[in-house]
Chains A and B, each alone.
Chain A
Amino acid sequence: MFNFFKRHKSAESAKERLQLVLIHDRINLSPAELEALKDDLIETISRHVVIDPQAVRIAMEHEGRSQRLVADIPIQGVGRRKRGKAK
């Protein structure tokens, strides 16, 4: 019964899997490379404002055939992070 149900949805898994594969093919970045990009982004932004690295969301969106990298980076607190040690 469970198997029957699963089989019925193979078109859906084909579509979901393709959606992911095509995103990475088009931007020529593997999932691991995208993760590295996210880490770099967090590091850079953390130098200027306080953010919670766990809350950062990076997504690829597309409109037609053009791709867009969308980052959602909630900023913590109000104040700026203390600028450097000198002063």
Chain B
Amino acid sequence: MKAQVVTISSGKGGVGKTTATANLAVALAAAGSKVVCIDGDIGLRNLDVVMGLENRIVYDIVDVIEGRCRLKQAMIRDKRLPELYLIPAAQTRDKQSVSASDMVRVVHDLRKEADWILIDSPAGIERGFKNAVAPADRVIVVTNPEVSAVRDADRVIGILEAEEKGTPSLIINRLNPSLVRQNDMLSAEDVLDLLAVKLIGIVPEDENVIVGTNRGNPVALEPKSKAGQAFRNIARRLQGEEVPFLDLEAGNGFWSRWLGRK
């Protein structure tokens, strides 16, 4: 196996990086891939609770880096999907305990163990972000259709381009179709116009995400959840499949036709 390494980033906090990481991991694993996700937010770990694995943690990524355990010992197996693993962040350490070359080394060793490695980046553009991006083959930037999130996404995209990480692809998360119809929320088209990057998915605002997070069950496993469907579609696009952007994703038929033409 030779894994593809995808880092999920955003600049601004609270836009749904961790939710996106958990859901893409679950969707890829449910489709039969072997997936390892890494929480890159040292000191503020959350991917474990979002995935419902917080009670299984013994070792974390800093233990691996500092040689206190083997890589496989820090890989927590998911309770639902046998081919899904989490390497948690350390909670009582800070970002200074990891360097970019540590991340590159750990991910290098992991590549032969999986089909996909997803790295959840911390917010911000400092060391933690740089560490999370260092080993990536590609980066996904998550944003929300609102001014501060779009502005920060633009900064992150600029930094990634300047560091020759290539142009990332974009997830527009928490889009509210009825607010867009009322012209009180930036549409997916507006956001793409502003950021000028390739879209990989639009995730509608969905109460199921909150309910799922409360329980530690990512919505990508909920057949009826719209956000879950959107995340499953993104996972298929990641695997190279052409999946049309559904109306339910954008909440607006014009948009999907427009995009289909592109």
Contacts and interface: CB of A to CB of B under 8 A. Distances in A.
B243 interface: no
B96 interface: no
A77 interface: no
A22 B155 CA distance: 9
Interface stretch (B21-29, B184-192, B199-207, B217-225): B184-192
Main SS of chain A's interface residues?
Answer: helix
Contact of B194 (A8, A10, A18): A18
Given A10-B184, A11-B187, A65-B161, A18 B151 contact: yes
Interface residues of B, number: 23
Contacts of B182: 8
A20 to B, nearest CB: 11
Nearest to A22: B154
B183 A8 contact: yes
Across chains A and B, which 5 residue pairs bring their CB atoms closest together, nearest first?
A: A64-B196, A11-B183, A65-B196, A10-B184, A15-B190
23 contacts: A7-B184, A8-B182, A11-B180, A11-B184, A11-B185, A12-B183, A14-B146, A14-B190, A15-B186, A15-B190, A15-B194, A18-B150, A21-B147, A21-B151, A22-B151, A25-B151, A25-B155, A25-B158, A26-B158, A62-B196, A65-B157, A65-B167, A65-B197
Contacts, number: 50
Interface of B: 146-147, 150-151, 154-155, 157-158, 161, 167, 180, 182-187, 190, 193-197
B168 to A, nearest CB: 11
Contacts of A12: 183
A11 B194 contact: no
A10 B183 contact: yes
Nearest to A11: B183
Contacts of A62: 196
A25 B159 CA distance: 12
Nearest to B190: A15
Given A18-B194, A65-B158, 17 more contacts: A8-B183, A9-B183, A10-B184, A11-B185, A11-B187, A14-B147, A15-B186, A15-B194, A18-B150, A18-B186, A21-B147, A22-B151, A22-B154, A25-B155, A64-B196, A65-B161, A65-B195
A87 interface: no
A17 interface: yes
Interface string A4-35: 00011111101101110110011000000000
Contacts of A18: 147, 150-151, 186, 194
Contacts of A8: 182-184
Given A21-B151, A22-B151, A11 B186 contact: yes
Contacts of B158: 25-26, 65
B154 A26 contact: yes
A60 B155 CA distance: 18
B156 to A, nearest CB: 11
Contacts of A22: 151, 154, 194
A11 B194 CA distance: 13
A38 to B, nearest CB: 24
Contacts of A19: 194
